[in-house]
Amino acid sequence: MEDFTALPDLASRAFGGGVVSANDEFFAAADHLVLPHPAGHAPRTFDHKGQVYDGWETRRRREPGHDFAVVRLGAPGVIHGVDVDTAFFTGNYPPHASVEAVEVPGYPGPDELAGAKWTELVPRSSLQGDSSNLFPVADRRRWTHVRLRIFPDGGVARLRVHGEVVPDPALLPKVFDVAAAEYGGRVVDCSNMFYGNPQRMLMPGLARNMGDGWETSRRRDNANDWVLVQLAAAARLRFADLDTSHFKGNAPGWAALTGITAEGDQLELLPRTALRPDTPHRFRLRKAPEVTHARLDIFPDGGMARLRLHGRADREQLWARMRR
Ligand SMILES: NC(=O)NC(NC(N)=O)C(=O)[O-]
């Protein structure tokens, strides 16, 4: 089975995903389903409704039926698998769940979505309590929303919807951040990620703290750390933002950027350049043909909060992916 959990969570609040509707949220709000951080639990904490849970939890059903929650993907795309994570729900997890998806353009509300033509991606399947429940998805179409059904009721901590981001090219300006995860940019390799995953550099918004970025361990050799980014589409890169915000005693001393063409040629976009700690730098890049990947070298090691690569993407490629 493909390890789809390494792909971004399209539903994540970090991309702007959210809950459009849920039929019941008596014990705990469905909004918890899309929170980016793992669920936590504090036993023997009670509010007016009961034990407090970090998840979506419905009341005990006394009549036939089932419960559901509809989630808007923060980044629409192709779903490779879902995780119905029941962390900390032990005596109250749903024994079964199913997941459906739909592609509706624009900004549909709960009523329009209720009447939409949904496709079942995960048939009604049994769940384990207090555990990750992974279901691969084979359908390779693009989706904008998912619906989680739980049978008959209970609690789910998180719904992770892993896949490839497929942005709508009609809504992309001529020059945009082609490294951005929200448009399909992705780190495909790196030398070291001891303290922080490099994918975080591509997430929307400013880094909140030093934990919200890429950080390598201290190098004790003469080499340097690097990360390889696959761009949203082949692009001519214009500007790079190398943001060392929050990295004060551990910013890299220097950085360089290399573009890699579809044929594998390497082009210097930014020669080795000195960086300052805790600084959002912007650099103009050398004129170069279209590249599909970019490698960021940092010297010798350290941390980077955000990496943005502003460029003009190949529209044909973006449209081909959208239509696929
Ligand atoms: N102890 C519980 O978790 N009870 C109930 N749930 C909450 N949140 O209190 C329940 O019935 O599932």
Give per-residue pLDDT as tens, 133-146: 999 999 999 999 99
In short, whether 317's Cβ falls inside 6 Å of ligand 1 is no
Q: Cis omega (within 30 of 0) on the bond before 167?
A: no
Predicted local confidence at residue 236, as pLDDT: 98
Q: How far apart are CA 282 and CA 198, in angstroms?
A: 19
Predicted local confidence at residue 324, as pLDDT: 80
Ranges under pLDDT 50 in the chain:
none
Whether the complex's predicted ipTM is more than 0.85 is answered with: yes
Predicted local confidence at residue 244, as pLDDT: 98
Minimal CA–CA distance to 159: which of 181, 137, 133? 133
Question: HSE of 324 in the Cβ direction (CA atoms, 13 Å)?
Answer: 19
* Domain spanning 4-165, CATH class: mainly beta
Q: Which atom of ligand 1 is nearest to the CA of 53?
A: 8
97, 122 Cβ separation under 8 angstroms: yes
Predicted local confidence at residue 194, as pLDDT: 87
Minimal CA–CA distance to 261: which of 223, 242, 299, 234? 234
In short, whether 57's Cβ falls inside 6 Å of ligand 1 is yes
**Residue type for position 47:** D
Q: Which atom of ligand 1 is nearest to the CA of 154?
A: 12
In short, whether 51's Cβ falls inside 6 Å of ligand 1 is yes
Find the 205 Cα to ligand 1 centroid distance in Å.
36
Q: How far apart are CA 91 and CA 276, in angstroms?
A: 52
Predicted local confidence at residue 38, as pLDDT: 97
pTM of the model: 0.95
Q: Which atom of ligand 1 is nearest to the CA of 49?
A: 9
Domains 4-165 and 171-323 are alike in CATH topology: yes
Find the 128 Cα to ligand 1 centroid distance in Å.
17
Predicted local confidence at residue 265, as pLDDT: 98
Predicted local confidence at residue 2, as pLDDT: 84
Predicted local confidence at residue 63, as pLDDT: 96
Token pair, residue 209, equals: 């703290």
3-state helix, strand, coil in the chain (%, to 5): 10, 45, 45
Predicted local confidence at residue 196, as pLDDT: 87
Q: Which atom of ligand 1 is nearest to the CA of 50?
A: 9
How many CB atoms are closer than 10 A to CB 136? Answer: 15
Q: How far apart are CA 262 and CA 51, in angstroms?
A: 55
Residue 182 has phi, psi (to 5 degrees) of: -70, -15
Yes or no: domain 171-323 corresponds to CATH 2.60.120.260: yes
In short, whether 199's Cβ falls inside 6 Å of ligand 1 is no
Domain boundaries, the chain: 4-165, 171-323
Token pair, residue 62, equals: 């006394």
Predicted local confidence at residue 1, as pLDDT: 76
Find the 125 Cα to ligand 1 centroid distance in Å.
23
